[in-house]
A and B are shown apart, each in its own frame.
Chain A
Amino acid sequence: MDQNGFELSFPATEVEASAGIAALAEQLSEQGLPEAHAGDVRIALAEAINNVVEHAYVGVEAAQVQVNCALRANWLEIRISDTGLPLPDRQPPEGIPASVETELQDLPEGGFGWFLIRQLASDIRYERRKGFNHLFLRFDLLSSSNG
């Protein structure tokens, strides 16, 4: 695989994000992201972008989400950038999921986003720089992880 990279920007709304995430997944696959990793990457990417839409632009005017992908033979790095509010404490949350061992009516209907990102990405890095949030998600694409 040669060095592949691309970027995509879209307005930070749920509808635009839904289409953007599907387009990114398709692009990654066209550029050679192995099928075995495609699902994990799409789940983490969707949760990270949804977080921007649902949290970063709360109370401020929604702007763009910019996604840059760099794909190599052994790894994929995705950078998600926005101009919204910084993450609380300026770091990615731990993402401890709510327990599902509970009564029906108490089952969690959310709060799984960061948990899923942490489960699926090999490395997570966050930077707040000049009014921008940059979240870097790295995925190791070693074939041994398939077996």
Chain B
Amino acid sequence: MSLTSTVTGDAQIITVNADRIDAAMAIQFKEDMRSETDGGPERVILDLSGVSFIDSSGLGAIVASMKQLGGARRLDLAGLTPVVEKVFRLTRMDTVFNLFPSLDDALTEDAG
């Protein structure tokens, strides 16, 4: 699992460099998210545009990542591909996270 992190303005952008987040990498993902978001801006944007598939374990790992941030910080999700978006919609996790069609949309919201 590989994550890349950059800070732009008041948001930290974490890009997932893997084509899937599934049971085989859920634990690693959660651990990597913990170390990447240790300290840093209040708002974290997870760029999922390179992820074509997620299963319920991967979904659970993203939920766990948001819990790790605690109540004072927030995890927004950007660039959900169709299958990933469907898993969020079916499980109603789309009502828990702020979802943005693209990273640019997420950053524009931030500016406004």
Chain A interface (Cβ < 8 Å from any Cβ of B)? 14-15, 17-18, 21-22, 25, 39-40, 42-43, 46-47, 50, 53-54, 97, 100-101, 104-105, 107-113, 115-116, 119-120
CA distance A50 to B56 in the complex (A): 9
The answer on a CB contact under 8 Å between A116 and B82 is: no
Identify which of A18, A104, A112, A116 contacts B23 (C-beta below 8 A): A18
Identify which of A18, A25, A43, A107 contacts B87 (C-beta below 8 A): A43
Chain A proximity mask over B58-76: 1 for CB below 8 Å, otherwise 0: 0111011011000100000
Total A-B pairs, Cβ < 8 A: 76
Pairs of residues from A and B, 3 with the lowest C-beta to C-beta distance, nearest first: A109-B60, A18-B24, A39-B83
The answer on a CB contact under 8 Å between A107 and B53 is: no
The answer on a CB contact under 8 Å between A46 and B64 is: no
Q: Which residues of B contact A113 (CB under 8 A)?
A: 56
Given contacts A40-B86, A47-B56, contact A108 B63 (CB under 8 A): yes
CA distance A103 to B14 in the complex (A): 24
Chain B interface (Cβ < 8 Å from any Cβ of A)? 20, 22-25, 53, 55-57, 59-61, 63-64, 66-67, 71, 82-83, 86-87, 90-93, 95-96
CB distance from B33 to the nearest CB of A (A): 13
CA distance A100 to B23 in the complex (A): 21
Q: Which residues of A contact B64 (CB under 8 A)?
A: 109
CA distance A120 to B83 in the complex (A): 12
Given contacts A43-B55, A105-B67, contact A54 B86 (CB under 8 A): no
CA distance A125 to B64 in the complex (A): 33
A109 — nearest CB in chain B belongs to which residue?
B60
The answer on a CB contact under 8 Å between B24 and A104 is: no
